[in-house]
Amino acid sequence: MKRYILILMSILIVICLVKTISYLGDTEKNTSVVSDKSYIITLKQDIFSLMMAYPEYIIDIEVTDGDKVYLILKSGKKLLYDDGKEKTELEKIQNPDLQDMMEQQYVLGSVDSLMPNDYNPGRIRVYSLLQEVYGTNRQEIEKNLTGIKINSNYHGFNKNNAAAYFLENSMKELHQLAKTNPQIWSYIHPIGGTYNFRYISKTNRLSPHSFGIAIDLASNPNDYWQWTTPAKGNKRLQSYPEAIVNVMESNYFIWGGKWGQFDIFHFEYRPEIIIKALYFTDEERNLWYENLPVENPKVSEIIWLIEERLQHKTSPKVDNQMN
């Protein structure tokens, strides 16, 4: 009798194990499907944001036999969207792909405290894209500069991709605001600077000021994370006029005050970051383009191109080795 009971128990254990393994397999498949879907949605949203931000410079999309996605530039150069490598935050800054650059979602509107130290949307820059748009070297960049009148003086800013146009528009709006809110003058006068061909402190990476796409407004000793303490930086952030931030963001400038490694007087022309923040959130939608103004011919044209080029795209396997 005991023998039969043992046999029966063994059979029951085997059945339970088979069911468990089957369940885990199904769960893994479902998770993989969700992960694949999420990756493809983000891929399409990132590419849309980039193509809308640089319409004269990003002209097509290519998917290779190895399932790699490239953006085709006006010059014929190709930019890889995702190299499939896991990276540390420093490696993302030093050797980014487009996915790394677009990964962190910028937050529009007011903030009431400093961001976490590892939240720095826009600090990752793909230099091959900036060089394509604004100039490959100092000589080319300086040919693309135009003077923008700010506080009675002219300051160089890159005219390509409408960067100078939107800076000029920002300054006009801020000067109008200052007429009814005199406090704003102390934040925009005197400005810290625009074009300045230089490297970011303690790095071999060019500053966005080198491309003529960034402006530092009036500075304060507590504006920069390397100059002051988090407590003093936080106090400065809380006193910063929301109206200035809103004007700059509406003209496609991101604010360094929204970086964990804060740079409160720094604004940088990054239309791709602002466009992604405007149209895409973490809210789940049936269609990745559900929130877009599809009645706009340019928008619908880019959506169609993305859908046509990426119709067979699947998410890549990730290289887990740190590079």
pLDDT digits (tens, 9 = 90+) for 242-295: 999 999 999 999 999 999 999 999 999 999 999 999 999 877 777 899 989 999
User: With 50 as the cut, is the pLDDT of residue 120 above it?
Assistant: yes
pLDDT value at residue 88: 94
Q: What per-residue confidence (pLDDT) applies to 226?
A: 93
Name which of 182-196, 197-211, 302-316 the model is least confident about: 302-316
Which one is predicted more confidently, 6 or 211? Answer: 211
> Residue 10 pLDDT more than 60?
no
Q: What is the DSSP string of 248-260?
A: HHHTTEEEGGGSS
Structure tokens belonging to residue 142: 């300086």
Q: Give the bridge partners for 157, in sequence order.
A: 146
User: What does the alpha-carbon distance between residue 185 and residue 162 come to, in Å, rounded to a whole number?
Assistant: 25
**What pLDDT, on a 0 to 100 scale, did the predictor assign at position 65?**
81
**Residues 136-155: what's their mean pLDDT?**
96
- Percent of the chain at pLDDT above 90? 79
Average pLDDT, the chain: 89
80 has a pLDDT exceeding 80: yes
What CA–CA distances, in Å, run from 147 to 45, 88, 134, 135, 235?
Answer: 34, 39, 15, 17, 34
Q: Does position 2 have pLDDT exceeding 60, yes or no?
A: no
Q: What average pLDDT does range 112-135 have in this prediction?
A: 97
Quick check: 305 pLDDT over 90?
yes
pLDDT of 87 higher than 70: yes
In this prediction, residues 129-151 reach a mean pLDDT of 97
Q: Phi and psi of 118, rounded to 5°?
A: -95, 10
pLDDT at 14 over 90: no
Which pLDDT belongs to residue 25? 47
User: How confident is the model over 54-61, as a mean pLDDT?
Assistant: 98
Comparison of pLDDT for 281 and 223, the residue scoring more? 223
Judged against a pLDDT cut of 90, whether residue 316 lies above it is answered with: no
Higher pLDDT, 264 or 9: 264
pLDDT-derived band at 36 (thresholds 50, 70, 90) equals confident
Contact 70, 61 (CB under 8 A): yes
Residue ranges covered by each domain of the chain = 106-279
> How many other C-beta atoms can be found within 10 angstroms of the C-beta atom of residue 183?
11
